[in-house]
Structure 1
């Protein structure tokens, strides 16, 4: 054998070893089963950011709420995401009782895990309702990521609080989406941590560098006041209506899907513009064309514990923010000088005028925003969560 042939054989052997080692390392990865009430393809937010990063080290299964099967028989849809996350959507038979739906989900999930036996199973709950079909599973670590107080949301299941109590007993660690929620849950679980949602600064900072206007926003006059997120019972539609009527020169741009409320109940005025849902990739393009960003949430039970992710996203885009007095917004951003807090329509209008004035010196505005955002990142949030989980394995 010549030296060249030997080198080629050695390289081939090394390549075979590397492939074998890589496959073996994948097989040894723990499986993280994420049980979510939010769909992967809905609004790109905390679950997608966190699970995409966990997929670097774990086999991540994102198990969504069921859909009714047009085939009649139950089946499981499996979709691989570019991030490495595998999304599993259970399709159940029509006309079933809640108990029968849970049973079909259990059968589908158990079948998948039997066909893909995990080297180690960990469970991550975004909703306690998933206990109905997973309570029999034995995980080395059980996480309850309590993003929101789901029991306070419109159309919440009547037994949600009962299920949550069970999950709190079962969970090894509890993460909360904000500090107000942590204050409540830490009284119910000894290992609870406030992990507010973070921000992809580079993604939203693109709004500071572009003049390109999306087609459906291009012809809307300035000043523009913008909001992106889910449009549901948390939005203060009366506040928006009063602002628009009292200030016809302002144009309010609302981006996001309408959920759980009748679209007909939303104010219909010439200077309120509903542009529908947009992808995560598109949001900086819209944010770039706003003069002020809004957090116009109503002050009610559904918003008592929320910690809006959009606050740091707006700031990363270089936009001043005006918000109603959501507790976590006041706590984290109320004294920053770039997020103004207003409790009624008159105060909101005054705060918007002050925010518009801030735009006269964008360098100072951006510097203040960057100071507020210093150290924030989804990578940092994920690492904190991962370190806490690894300590429990």
Structure 2
């Protein structure tokens, strides 16, 4: 009988943002698990707020009834309404009942896929707490990758639901050291395990390294940012550096979720939008410096609780890394260049240095094996 893990997560499987749970799904697959990857639901209301390419992709997955990638089956449920940080949609009623208005019924779908009984029930989204009472499991795990209260999209109702899940599951893993103290509402601290982010080494080793067509007319040296372009992305900092380093090409990859009109005024800034994750290594391998320009001053609670996955991805592709300094990454100061002012950031881009780093210990596969053994789950 095969081992099974049901993953209830925020981001859909084919998202351009490949975050921790995506990589853990593939690590579970390597360990011989069948994976059912259920992401946050969509509803007709979504089109009112953002009829984006991302929403169209989620609708496509829903209409196909889910898709397979090896031993991973991923699905996006559709409900009449879904929890959001907006009037009515942030209510307890919506949070606790959205699954009852899915078509097809989500619980029936899960059971028909053969995941009514699983070895591991995995959460990174607060929307799926009902699964603890409706699915039979041997171990349950919540992964906390950010301080969710720092996101405008997360309602107080969702934060309380996350705490409720945390107090019920067998283990809570968190990626930034200060998250344990921030989540003081979690009663049993002994079940909280610090498990930092990692990388899929095999993915980067096997990736295409040829020059992407999008970079053919963009000269070196190339300074690249890959990831979320949200409130904490420091537009002013990037503009300042690009303006003062006119011979450097700045490449920004990620969906525009913030006004970037200031950056579009400079000819040496190239905003490429979303790029499929499978193609990202080629952009990194053909750049020289990877940057993390986060606004720590205005978003201290959020940024200080980030263990940036992009930092490891940059390093995996041999880039020099320049980042604004915050508490979580201070212990990387001998590997990456940490700065506190705009001028320091510019100088670091020009003179950034680093050294070879043993990335093997940051492999998702190794991290997962170590963690599962730590909570009493046998792995080969």
Shift, 1:101, TM fit: 2.6
Q: Which of the numbers 351, 359, 362 marks the counterpart of 1:376?
A: 362
Q: 2:109 is matched with which residue? A: 112
Whether the 8 Å CA contact 2:36–2:74 is kept in 1: the answer is yes
In the superposition, relative to structure 1, how do residues 107 and 291 fare at CA in structure 2: closer, same or farther (>3 Å)?
closer
Whether the 8 Å CA contact 2:200–2:364 is kept in 1: the answer is yes
Deviations 1:152-206 (A, max 9, x none): 1132223222112211210110111232324544883321111111122343356
Query: Within the alignment, does 1:142 sit opposite 2:116 as a pair?
Result: no
Query: Within the alignment, does 1:83 sit opposite 2:70 as a pair?
Result: yes
After TM superposition, list the pairs within 5 Å mapping 1:24-173 onto structure 2.
Answer: 25-26=1-2, 29=3, 31-42=4-15, 43-55=17-29, 56-68=31-43, 78-93=65-80, 98=89, 99=94, 101-105=98-102, 108-115=105-112, 116=114, 118-120=116-118, 122-131=120-129, 133-137=130-134, 138-173=136-171
Q: 1:320 is matched with which residue? A: 320
CA RMSD in angstroms comes to 2.9
In the superposition, relative to structure 1, how do residues 95 and 308 fare at CA in structure 2: closer, same or farther (>3 Å)?
closer
Deviations 1:274-314 (A, max 9, x none): 11222222122111221211111110232120001111211
In the superposition, relative to structure 1, how do residues 383 and 105 fare at CA in structure 2: closer, same or farther (>3 Å)?
farther
Whether the 8 Å CA contact 2:142–2:166 is kept in 1: the answer is yes
Distance 1:50 1:282 in 2: 20
Name structure 1 gaps, 5 residues minimum: 1-24, 359-364
Shift, 1:256, TM fit: 1.5
Structure having the higher Rg: 1
Q: 1:361 is matched with which residue? A: none
Q: How many residues align?
A: 344
TM-score (norm 1): 0.78
Distance 1:258 1:146 in 2: 25
Name structure 2 gaps, 5 residues minimum: 46-61
Whether the 8 Å CA contact 2:7–2:35 is kept in 1: the answer is yes
Q: Which moved more, 1:190-199 or 1:122-131?
A: 122-131
Q: 2:371 is matched with which residue? A: 385
In the superposition, relative to structure 1, how do residues 392 and 176 fare at CA in structure 2: closer, same or farther (>3 Å)?
farther
TM-score (norm 2): 0.81
Shift, 1:263, TM fit: 4.9
Whether the 8 Å CA contact 2:5–2:119 is kept in 1: the answer is yes
Distance 1:149 1:93 in 2: 28
Secondary structure class of the residue paired with 1:49: helix
Q: 1:214 is matched with which residue? A: 212
